[in-house]
Structure 1
């Protein structure tokens, strides 16, 4: 009997020891139980909106996709936040999703006007011509277009553009990527010369070029040997194409992937392959805890608050009397350029501290993202550059893409989003290889 009891005891002890061992392995892995690491927010001093009567404001939104797109979700969630902050009634906000970049946008805008909206906001680059058409039909309504380029040349009192210095956010995300590359190099996973990143872009537009270049320069600032391959899908949102593009980059020996495309395709590909990922427009930590490092995004809430307050205070809520900036540019200081928390399962040690350090230098002007001392073009420093800033119709309703504005200042800095809010950096710098092009 004693032997039987002893045998049972030994079996129980062995099972317990095995369970402890498995638990220890799980903890040692450091991924299954990965946590997000809090990134301290920048201390933003928000304007005082108290005492403003918002009761007569009605805002309509036109979104290219719905919340399944990380891009559109970012706009929608910000509007929901502002609706709560300003105590706007349900009937004061109308959000239309799935609005294509064609006459459907014009029809949608005019439907919102007919519904009593005195602000109409559109979120996609291709909406602009249709928003302009609507603005001419409803001169008292404010038409605000994100990412657009024509407000400063059209000079309509009720048509405005807005963007943010997201290139600074992407630079910070690039710093996090570079630190991860350094960590992997130090661990012997590859050599410094093999430190190649991959980037999934939608189109070869200045907005995307500016984004991937600033990301690369951020990585290069801490990992000098880094290079980067870029591929384009030809669509803003195509989960399959983005997944396949990320896999192609991974198969091309890219050690880390980032993106300027709007689905979970690239992050999911990275999680499946175990390749570190820097996403865009929001955290993908919940879906990709083992590979998510950080994400940058534009916080549109400060802009929504700005235009709503301007219209609320305007005489008769008339856009022609609201004096809204033609080209509003949000920054880190306005709370418009933000980063998510950092993924504890993938980010390198010290990432949070480094991001905070570099962010402060960006705000103070001690670092300029597109300082021409930090990159070359065909092995030469970029001394001068004429950018296409001003829209000029080529006769078909499209821009003739004429280079018209000198954008490098006396200090050798390419002044992005200074002459208009939307990006115009379209320089192909050394260290970045474009595998294809999509316009």
Structure 2
């Protein structure tokens, strides 16, 4: 009887300790408080994508509205530092910012609050600045843009076959924000995707000098359409370009999310980064006391690079199948977006001239070596060999894009910074 009572008491104590331990663990996880900083608000396709991801991550982790603070319309200036500090003072132990120009201010905040984790999307300095509580993240979105480019090329082929224009007139337009590597990598991968199915395609690019300016983006798209561009895409954050396309009845491929509501008769598809997997990963690391990667790159496999649903009313027949075939090859490593055998460039090109000492091409203009600016400095000095096994290895040396070359077939109409 005494042995039975002793065993029973031991069992009760064990169950009690387990319950207490479980309660303590749950309590530890609940201590996280997250801060989110965005450049604009829900009216920006770019920022809306981040806001939706933030809310999804909070929900997926079992957190509540009380566990996060969202700050919108925070400029790329001192306001970012002030906001980051305010979030830290209000108990946030992990803080995210979404825009390239937020980086120096996030770094300053990280230095001031060493016990708070600061995570910045699209930044380049985490791997060189060496702060243990400052981190960069991006995704291989160039693969998503390449796949979206296939949809564009398929549409061009359909219009050519319908007699709407000839192969030699297969020109697409692109509205870009700045001449940063992120934008260059984006429009080049989009073009190469289109070229993979429509070999005669050419492209014109115009820049607005702003991440979000609906009037300029609309004006840029209108100019490209007037120049004879048969399809428009963009790396800018408003509905300006999609609206211009809908008004002119010109097909459109969007970025950061579907613009079907703004262009039901012209929208084809959109590529975007889903930031929820990164947010969940980083927040969970804080909850569990684990280290966050200094430089994190999301992929097709992590669910970070996605395509919105195809608008079958506009897309060419066979588009979904063509995209899935290319996606499978990308995931297996059988296809590389920046395969150097698929495009040419020139070291004496106006936009490549400052890279003449780090760019080497063969007699046909195919790149055989390029020292990319990965460890960013004021002079954008090339420091890392980017050509590996016959392709430009984008986002492998750091998460943020560093493909910044101009290739044949693409014409820049301006170079606003």
Is the TM value for this pair above 0.5?
A: yes
> Aligned with 2:206: secondary structure?
strand
| Pairing partner for 1:200 from 164, 175, 182 | 175
Q: Does 1:403 align with 2:382?
A: yes
Verify the 8 A CA contact 1:132 1:159 in the aligned structure 2: yes
- Which has the higher mean CA deviation after the structures are superposed, 296-305 or 75-84? 75-84
The reply on whether 1:338 has 2:270 as its aligned counterpart is no
Matched, 1:415 2:393: yes
Cα 1:52–1:272 shift into 2, 3 Å: farther
Number of residue-to-residue matches in the alignment? 376
**Bigger RCO of structures 1 and 2 (CA < 8 A, at least 6 apart):** 1
Partner of 2:251: 276
SS at 2:103 equivalent: helix
Taking the aligned partners of 1:331 and 1:180, their CA distance within structure 2 comes to 26
Cα displacement string for residues 183-242 of structure 1 (whole angstroms, at most 9, x for unaligned residues): 000000000010000000000000000000000000000000000000000000000000
- Name the CA distance, whole Å, in 2 between partners of 1:236 and 1:52: 41
Matched ranges for 1:227-376 at <5 A: 227-314=202-289, 322-376=290-344
Alignment counterpart, residue 115 of structure 2, candidates 140, 149, 153: 140
- Give 1:11's aligned residue: none
Residue in 2 that maps onto 1:425:
403
| 1:221 counterpart SS class | helix
- More divergent stretch after superposition (180-189 vs 372-381): 372-381
**2-side partners of 1:245 and 1:122: how far apart?**
28
User: How far does the alpha carbon of each residue in 1:107-166 deviate from its partner, in whole angstroms, 9 at most, with x for none?
Assistant: 000000000000010000000000000000111100000000000000110000000000
CA distance in 2 between counterparts of 1:234 and 1:215 reads 20
Structure 1: gaps of 5 or more residues: 1-49, 315-321, 393-398
Name the structure 1 match of 2:141.
Answer: 166
Q: Which runs of 5+ in 2 are unaligned?
A: 1-24, 347-363
| Normalised TM-score (structure 1) | 0.84
Task: Kindly state the Cα deviation for residue 51 of structure 1 after the two structures are TM-superposed.
Answer: 7.8
Measured in 1, the distance between the counterparts of 2:409 and 2:139 equals 26
Q: Could you report, residue by residue, the CA deviation over 1:347-387 in whole angstroms, capped at 9, with x for unpaired residues?
A: 00011111111111100011100010110003511111011
Using the TM superposition, name which of 283-292 and 204-213 deviates more: 283-292
Report deviation, 1:169: 0.1
Task: Report the CA distance between 1:53 and its aligned residue.
Answer: 5.3
Separation in 2, partners of 1:360, 1:141: 39
> 1:54 deviation in Å?
2.9
Q: Distance in 2 between matches of 1:61 and 1:359?
A: 32
Q: Which of 216, 219, 224 is equivalent to 2:191?
A: 216
Normalization by structure 2: what TM-score? 0.89
TM-align CA RMSD: 1.2
Helix, strand or coil for the counterpart of 2:30? coil
CA distance in 2, matches of 1:51, 1:149: 35
Where 2:49 maps in the other structure, the secondary structure is: helix
Q: Per-residue displacement from partner, 1:33-53 (whole Å, max 9, x unpaired)?
A: xxxxxxxxxxxxxxxxx9895
Q: Which residue of 1 aligns with 2:69?
A: 94
Query: In 2, Cα distance between the equivalents of 1:52 and 1:232?
Result: 50
